[in-house]
Structures are given as C-alpha cells and as structure tokens.
Amino acid sequence: MTTPPPSASEPALLEVHDLRVHFPITRGVIFRRTVGQVHAVDGLSLKLATAETVGLVGESGSGKTTLGRAIVGLLPPTSGTILFRGQPFSGRGTARNQAGRSQLQMVFQDPTASLDPRWRAGASIAEPLRVNHIGTRAERRERVSELLEVVGLSPVHARRYPHELSGGQRQRVGLARALALNPAVIVADEAVSALDVSIRAQVINLLQQLQDELKLSYLFIAHDLAVVRHLSNRVAVMYLGQIVEQATAADLYSDARHPYTVSLLSAVPVPDPLVEAGRQRIVLPGDPPNPASPPPGCRFHTRCWLRERLGNPERCAAEEPAHQHVSASHTAACHYAHEVPENVRLSTVGPTAEPAP
Amino acid sequence: MSADGRAQTATGDPLLRVRDLIVRFDSGRNVVYAVNGVSFDLEAGGALGLVGESGSGKSVTSLAILRLLPRPAAKIVTGEIRLGGRDLIRLSDREMRRLRGKEMSLVPQDPLSGLNPVLTIGEQVVETLRAHENMRRREARDRAAELLGTVGIPRPADQLDRYPHQFSGGMRQRVLIAIALALRPTLLIADEPTTALDVTVQAQVLELLHDLTAQRGTAILLISHDLGIMARMTRRIMVMYAGYVVESAPTAEIFARPAHPYTAGLLRSIPRVGDAGRPLTPIVGSPPESGRLPRGCPFAPRCAWALDVCWQEMPPLDPVDAVSYSGGPPPGGHLLACHNPVAADEVEGGRPLRPGFRPAPPPEDGLVAQGTT
C-alpha cells in the first residue's frame, strides 16, 4: 500500500508509518506453537496534526482499537514506526520514552471498567501524577480539583467512588485522568459510545471545548459515523487492518469513493423519517472475514457490491489496490474508485444538501 | 405499508392494549417505581417504537407485557395488558407459557445470552416448535431448517447441529429472529435488537425484521435508544422518561414537530450529517436516579421550559391541541404530557425563544424522594 499524503502543509504531530500489529494464534499448552497470525493492523499509515481530530471508523475486528492501543504504547507494534514530534516512539519503558508517553493519553470506552471501583475518583485522576512523581500530595490534590472543574465536575466529586457517579460523570473522570499530564494527543476509543444520548451530547461538546482551549489532538475511534462526522476534521475508514479511504470529513460523507465506505454510510439509519423513506441502501452480504486469513487481493472483494456490478473483475481478487487520489486530501484504496456511480454516492446519505442555517 | 390505512380504519380492539401500567421494584431496602402509569395501543400489523434512555422504563414495560419481570423483586402494581382481548395480568404462568412464543415473542438485545450455549441451534429451534405444536422430531427439524433459510442463514440444514459460539453475532441474532417468528406470532417485541451488532450487520438484521414482519402482518414493538433506527422502522413513537410516557405521536410527527422539551432535546442531542461542527444542544444534567424523582414532572430539573406548576404536578398525557395543526390532528393522535410545550419555532434551536422567559427554579422543599419516604 502506498502512503496517503500529508493532509496539509502543517507538520504532523504524530505520524504512523506502515504500522503492523500481529497477534500470534497459539495451540497447545506445554508445547505452545504458533499456528497463525491475526493481522489486526496490517500496514497502516496515518498522520495527526496539532489540534486536529482524525476520526477512525470501522466495524469490530477492523483493528481500530489495536491501532489506538499501539499508538499510546499499550501494545508493541510488530513492525513500522510511530513518530511523535518527529522522534521515534515505541511506548516501551526507557526514561526518554516516559516523557513522550505522557503526551499520548487514552480515554476508554467503558468508564465503569476503566476506573478502579475501590478508588475514589480523585485517586484515579491523581494516579498519572503520582506515577510520574509530579508535585507534592497537596499540589496533586489542587491539580485534581482543577482538572475536575476543567471537565465540568466540581471538586467534591474527588471524594466519590465510581459507583456513586453517573455514567456521564465517570466518563468525565476518565477524561480528567487523561488530561492530568497535559497531553498533546488523546486517543478516544469509543469514548462516548456507552453513554445515553443526552449525556453523549454533553461529553461531545466538552471534547470540542477542551480541544479549543488546550489545542489537543484527538484520534477519535468510533463506530457511530454521525458522531465521527461531527467531531472530526479528517476521517479514516478501516477494514481488516487497513485504511481503505481517507478524506476530510466533509468529502468523505458527501463523496465517498470506496465501496465499503459507501455501504457503511448507507447502512447507518438517519434520524429523519423523510430521508429514511427516500434512501437507497446497500446492504452488504455476510460478515467481515476473519482477520487471521484476510482474502487475497483487495480485502473487501468478497463482500463488494461494486465488484459485482462491474462483472466481478479478476483484478480485485488478485491485486491489492493502492491508494488512489480523488483529490489532494482524499484517497481511496480501490481499483475502481472512480466507478462508484454518483447517484449511489448521493443517495446513500440522503438529501443532506440543505445548508445549515 | 398497508397497515397505515388499517390503523386508521380499524374499529375493533387493538391487538395490544396497555392501560395505566405501574411496575414497582422492591429490593427490601428501597422501592423504585420503574413504570409509572403507561398506556398505549398497538394495532395488528403496526410498528410502535419505544424511545428512552437507560432507566426510562422501556425494557421493564416490554418485560411486563411478556410477564417476564424478575420475581420476586418486580411487581405489576396495577394496570391492564390486553393481547387480542385477553387480560395477560390475570393469566396463570401455565397459560402465559402457552402464549409466549406462539402469540407474542421477544428478540432480545444480546444474541449470545439469548441462546443456550450447550444446545445446538437446531435443538433450540425444534424445542420452540415442539413446545407449542404437535410435531414429530423429524418434521420439526425440517421446519427448523426452513426457518433458518427464511432468515438468510446459508446452508440451513448443515447449520442445525452447530452451537451458538460457532456463529457470528449477526448470525446468532438471525437465529433468534427465526425462533421468535417460528410460530407466526401476532406480536413481536424487539428490545434493542441490533445494539450489539456492527452497522453493516445491523442493516441486514433491520431489513430482515422489517421484511418479515411486513410480509406476515406481525405487529412489532421496537425498543431502542437510536432515533435513526426508529425513523427507519416505526410508524409511531412513544417517548419515555423516568417511567412515564411523555410524548406519543406518528414517527414523522415526532421528528418534524416534537412538543415535549425532552423529545426536542433528544433530537438536538444527536449529530446530523447536515450540521457538522455546530455544537450540539445537549439536555443539561442527567436522568433522575430511580427512586429520587421530584414531586412534579420528572423532567423539570433538566427542563429549559419549566414552569412553577411543573415542580408540583405531573401533567397528564393528553392530545395536543388540534388547533395548532393546519390539516387537523395526525392519525392516531399526538399525545403529550407537558405543561409548557415546545413551540414550533423553538424546535430548531432547542431552547425557549419567548422574551424574558426563564425556567422556574425548584421550590424550597426541593426533591421529594419517591417511594422511600
């Protein structure tokens, strides 16, 4: 796969180049042997600029969580490089890395699972400070109060245990903990997916407000395409460990070129009955293939509706497609990216041309 | 499609009629009213959506209809649930067992816990068939294979001897739909049927549910928090908050002209493709903890439209004033429980536009814990 181009002239804060994360599949207990590899992330390149949000969408098993974890150093990459401010970053334990590491933080999906139930919220938020020997006890307490206010809670919440907080409040605590070390990048892995609709909107607004105030960069991993569209400057679509399409959010949603992106967009129900009634939907057959044995050629060819319309060209099954440029900031890894009919591209998202007032 | 017409012309009893349903959970230490007087009708072949956040009582309502509430903690305090004229609350457990599966069935949220992991798929479908119909094993097996075929499972005959863990999430949900529809029930209750699935698989399952219920004239009660799914699947939507129905109207009407501040708030809380980047207008605060409801309207503490009366009195669910519609009230009616509805020009902005209006502050005595005192 070729590397998608840098998004703009801006230097990248974080640069992922040809990253691979493979997990061994083992058999046997005493004589453990590796019988295969799950190619969770397989040759992926991505850039993230300062104060930019890149949305990462894809179905379960597409490797988006693995990518996020590899970036913050929670998983060792099999190969490839991660550059943070131009320096190689591996996430593994040297003193120099430790400093870089504090700059990359993660917010997890399930705030109930990511907070220790026996710790008060304040202790969880102070943990990154304690681990890094920052400040005295009193200074840390001060900083915790400050962080709680930044995320829209009050200092009294520091005394609460997770079970005494609502789901939205727990996610705010998770966010406060991620902000404790003044990071430059936050990887938000389905950070709002578990929240109720009205609470989700509050946290989404909070994420935007924090980005404006602190110049944070987000890698926003989610399966909810509407939320990703709302928050992201650029969006990358993943399928079986690879990015299949990458574009600015506006382009991706109005002019998708990869048949997988088109079908994803068409699969999402739109909260408007008039739009729903008039939409054309492309329902993909089957489930995503097993990432342990991805199909040869284009990984999507086994479920591809476009290939079927084009009379099943052999090329899709034989040759891995390179990223083609649709425009300077828009690439799609499909041999026939230019063949996606315009009426399909438009009808999948519905008549959304009405300008925002 | 044709059921819309049927809904308007039907003169007899609706298929499902729920009146003043109150469900109470009693844990010994505290008492929680999960459903506070819910009433609605669902006509044969209709598609009704139940929207609400966690704790709104939507799942409890559906479990009450199926009489599957956890015992002894939960209890139907009062109410009437009629399916095809019979009052379900008065039926014995034995009679209910005969009814479940045959006349009404459930597609649960989590396809893995909905299936028994130690029985093959075939055994589970056959079990349902033979529990209700006098059928030979052989015959039931053939029928089971046929059913798996209708829900789009490839090579159904070969799949009968496989176990749930050998299926993907989407395939498991198809099996559950096959079981739920095996005996052609008149009512299908689907509780967040696609929440555990990926979007492309969700699209398959929704399409399947829609086609099968439409073909067979099965009425569907769909429970979801996803307004997009509601827009696609339902003809009428009922919005629940803290165990109350706060608004009920035809689907198009709910989206075009929400009248309850909570409904309007929900719609302004979801990002739409058309208005990316604009900040959302979330509802402030969080849903009330069950058992800690204010005396009046449970939404008052979060409501930008609150009046003094809202803190004192829960408004009844009444038809919205027909005068405000140019073409008369919508079919089925638009019901609303609100003292101070959202005006048409306030829907877009998600806040009151009346000059000088400020939401009424809580009264001195504040919240009144419901049930515990």
C-beta atoms of B231 and A230 within 8 A? no
C-beta atoms of A201 and B231 within 8 A? no
Chosen from A272, A284, A345, A352 to mutate, greatest number of chain B CBs within 10 A:
A272
Tell me the three-class secondary structure of B11-48, residue by residue: CCCCCEEEEEEEEEEECCCCEEEEEEEEEEEECCCCEE
User: Given a cut of 60, is residue A283 above it in pLDDT?
Assistant: yes
**Distance between CA A320 and CA B190 in Å, rounded?**
41
Residue type, A317: A
User: Given a cut of 60, is residue A353 above it in pLDDT?
Assistant: no
- B144 contacts: CB under 8 Å, gap ≥ 6: B122, B125, B126, B129, B156, B160, B178, B182
Q: How far is B127 from chain A (nearest CA, A)?
A: 27
Domains of chain B from N-terminus onward:
3-241 (3.40.50.300), 268-346 (no CATH)
Q: In this complex, is the C-beta atom of A352 within 8 Å of any C-beta atom belonging to chain B?
A: yes
Using an 8 Å CB-CB cutoff, list chain B residues near A283: 200, 203-204, 207
- Closest CB from A264, A287, A354 relative to B199: A264
Average pLDDT of the residues in A277-285: 81
Where do we find the tokens 């093959």? Answer: B120
Neighbouring CB atoms inside 10 A of A150's CB total 17
User: Given a cut of 50, is residue A356 above it in pLDDT?
Assistant: no
- Whole-Å CA distances, B31 to A164, B263, B291: 19, 28, 7
Where do we find the tokens 């460990």? Answer: A241
- A136 contacts: CB under 8 Å, gap ≥ 6: none
Q: How far is B199 from chain A (nearest CA, A)?
A: 6
Residue A166: per-residue pLDDT: 83
Using an 8 Å CB-CB cutoff, list chain A residues near B255: 271-274
Where do we find the tokens 């629940």? Answer: B240
- Whole-Å CA distances, B283 to A152, A170, A239, B226, B305: 14, 18, 35, 16, 12
* pLDDT classification of A111: cutoffs 50, 70, 90: confident
Q: In this complex, is the C-beta atom of A230 within 8 Å of any C-beta atom belonging to chain B?
A: yes
Helix (H, G, I), strand (E, B) or coil at A107: strand
DSSP string, B304-351: TT--GGGGT-PPP-EEPPGGG-TT-SPTT--EE--SSPPPGGGTTTTS
Average pLDDT of the residues in A330-339: 93
Peptide bond into B72 cis (omega under 30): yes
Check if the beta carbon of residue B43 is closer than 8 Å to that of residue B14: yes
Where do we find the tokens 């909107």? Answer: A201
Check if the beta carbon of residue A242 is closer than 8 Å to that of residue A43: yes
- What is the helix (H) or strand (E) element at residue A13, kind and residue range? strand A12-27
Helices (H) and strands (E) in chain A, counts: 14, 12
Average pLDDT of the residues in A235-246: 95
Q: What percent of chain A has pLDDT over 90?
A: 53
**Distance between CA B335 and CA B317 in Å, rounded?**
6
C-beta atoms of A263 and B225 within 8 A? no
Chosen from B1, B112, B198 to mutate, greatest number of chain A CBs within 10 A:
B198
Residue B367: per-residue pLDDT: 53
DSSP string, B40-108: EEE-TT-EEEEE--TTSSHHHHHHHHHT---TTTEEEEEEEEEETTEEGGGS-HHHHHHHBTTTEEEE-
**Distance between CA B121 and CA B172 in Å, rounded?**
9
**Distance between CA B209 and CA A277 in Å, rounded?**
16
pTM of the model: 0.85
Q: In this complex, is the C-beta atom of A270 within 8 Å of any C-beta atom belonging to chain B?
A: yes
User: Given a cut of 70, is residue A172 above it in pLDDT?
Assistant: yes
User: Given a cut of 70, is residue A354 above it in pLDDT?
Assistant: no
Q: How far is B154 from chain A (nearest CA, A)?
A: 10
Residues 160-189 on A with a CB inside 8 Å of B are 166-169
Nearest CA in chain B to A250: B276
Buried b (16+ CB within 10 A) or exposed e, B336-360: bbbbbbbeeebbeebbbeeeeeebb
Residue type, B162: R
Using an 8 Å CB-CB cutoff, list chain B residues near A196: 53-54, 225, 287
- Closest CB from B168, B273, B286 relative to A229: B273
Average pLDDT of the residues in A257-272: 89
Residue B10: per-residue pLDDT: 43
Residue B153: per-residue pLDDT: 87
Domains of chain A from N-terminus onward:
12-94+233-349 (3.40.50.300)
Average pLDDT of the residues in A184-199: 88
**Distance between CA B281 and CA B269 in Å, rounded?**
6
Residue A123: per-residue pLDDT: 95
State phi, psi for A286 to the nearest 5 degrees: 70, -170
* pLDDT classification of A27: cutoffs 50, 70, 90: confident
| Upper half-sphere CA count for residue A112 (Cβ side, 13 Å) | 7
C-beta atoms of B203 and A283 within 8 A? yes
- Closest CB from B198, B255, B268 relative to A273: B255
- Whole-Å CA distances, A252 to A3, A128, A201: 18, 37, 22
Residue A281: per-residue pLDDT: 81
Q: With both helix axes pointing from N to C terminus, report the angle between A121-131 and A167-179 in degrees, rounded to the nearest 10.
A: 20
**pLDDT, tens digit (0-9, with 9 covering 90-100), for A69-80:** 999 888 889 999
**pLDDT, tens digit (0-9, with 9 covering 90-100), for A40-55:** 999 999 999 999 999 9
Check if the beta carbon of residue B197 is closer than 8 Å to that of residue B114: no
Chosen from A60, A197, A266 to mutate, greatest number of chain B CBs within 10 A:
A197
C-beta atoms of B199 and A59 within 8 A? yes
pLDDT values of chain B reduced to their tens digit, one per residue, 373 residues: 344 433 333 445 789 999 999 999 988 888 888 999 999 999 999 999 999 988 899 999 999 999 999 888 899 999 999 999 899 999 999 999 999 989 999 998 877 778 999 999 999 999 999 999 889 999 999 999 999 988 888 888 889 999 999 988 888 998 999 999 999 999 999 999 888 788 888 888 899 999 989 999 999 999 998 899 999 999 999 999 999 999 999 999 999 999 999 999 999 888 876 666 677 888 888 888 766 677 889 999 999 999 999 999 999 999 986 555 556 666 678 999 999 999 988 888 778 888 888 888 888 765 554 443 3
Residue B270: per-residue pLDDT: 86
**Sheet bearing A53-57, strands edge to edge:** A104-107, A185-189, A217-221, A53-57, A234-239, A242-248, A330-332, A324-327
Check if the beta carbon of residue B57 is closer than 8 Å to that of residue B36: yes
Helix, strand, coil percent content, chain B, rounded in steps of 5 = 35, 20, 45
C-beta atoms of B251 and A354 within 8 A? no
Q: How far is B228 from chain A (nearest CA, A)?
A: 4
- What is the helix (H) or strand (E) element at residue A220, kind and residue range? strand A217-221
User: Given a cut of 70, is residue A324 above it in pLDDT?
Assistant: yes
Q: Is A277 exposed, middle or buried (0-12, 13-18, 19+ CB in 10 A)?
A: exposed
Residue A355: per-residue pLDDT: 33
Residue A357: per-residue pLDDT: 33
Buried b (16+ CB within 10 A) or exposed e, B198-220: bbbbbbbbbbbbeebbeeeebbb
| Alpha helical stretches, state H, A268-319 | 273-278, 305-309, 315-318
Chosen from A287, A347, A349, A352 to mutate, greatest number of chain B CBs within 10 A:
A287
Q: What is the DSSP letter of A55?
A: E
C-beta atoms of B231 and A168 within 8 A? no
Looking at every residue in chain A, the average pLDDT score rounds to: 86
Q: How far is A271 from chain B (nearest CA, A)?
A: 4
Q: How far is B86 from chain A (nearest CA, A)?
A: 34
Using an 8 Å CB-CB cutoff, list chain A residues near B274: 352, 354, 356
